[in-house]
Amino acid sequence: MINLDHFRKEFDKDKLDKGSVKKDPFAQFDVWHKEVMHVDAEGAITMTLSTVDSLGQPSSRIVLLRTLGEEGFGFFTNLTSRKAIEIDGNRQASLLFFWRNFQRQVRIEGELIRMPVEVEDEYFAGRPRGSQIGAWSSPQSASIPDRKSLEKMVREYTDRFEGKDVPRPSYWGGFILDPKRVEFWQGRESRLHDRIVYSKVDNGWKIERLAP
């Protein structure tokens, strides 16, 4: 066993108070997200998506935040992938943003819903052509014999759509996580972190402070 106890870092960059946060989690997320975007745009849109399969086994992976609004947090994927199959069986999921340079994280729990078809079509049409071809070529999460077989599929779809617009595959789409609970975590000294959680209620959001 490797002991990593010697690696410690003090959290001292900022604080978070129940009385100063915004009235809803979307507004508060927007404040933090814009701060991160100014210094690390790639990190600002990188999030961990966790889903659960039919046996209760959780799985997590990094996806990119592609739409953001009061309807929720959106991302796109192959609809035959492991994540999509798990989502089809259980719409409850969570997202995690970790912004190390700001000593902050945001944990989001809620239900995933499919994006409208017109949103999926519009987003796909704006993707780089290589990514469009890749969506057609890769049977995401399926077992393949080798890299050459994947590259062969890319060549075949490149030829198929030569001189044409690449349409969105029927098995490629997006999901929006509609949050019911959002926690904002700000690292503080001596591990006495600030944790403010928003919980959805009938008439809006309940705001509470949690013990670190």
Tell me the mean pLDDT in the region 19-30.
96
Query: pLDDT per residue over 156-176, tens digit each?
Result: 999 999 999 999 999 999 999
d(CA 124, CA 174): 10
Q: What are the E-state strand segments in the chain?
A: 46-52, 58-64, 67-69, 72-78, 92-99, 104-114, 172-186, 194-201, 204-210
* Percent with pLDDT over 90 in the chain: 92
The answer to whether the Cα torsion of 78, 81, 85, 90 is positive or negative is negative
Query: pLDDT per residue over 186-212, tens digit each?
Result: 999 999 999 999 999 998 999 999 999
Residue 16 in this model has a pLDDT that exceeds 80? yes
Ordered domains of the chain (ranges, CATH): 25-128+169-210 (2.30.110.10)
> Contact 194/188 with Cβ under 8 angstroms?
yes
What crossing angle do the helices spanning 129-137 and 147-160 adopt, rounded to 10°?
120
What average pLDDT does the chain have?
95
Query: pLDDT per residue over 57-98, tens digit each?
Result: 999 999 999 999 999 999 999 999 999 999 999 999 999 999
Query: pLDDT per residue over 123-135, tens digit each?
Result: 999 999 999 999 9
Q: Per the residue annotation, which of 61, 155, 160, 191 is the catalytic one?
A: 191
Catalytic residue list contains 114: no
Please state the pTM of the whole predicted model: 0.92
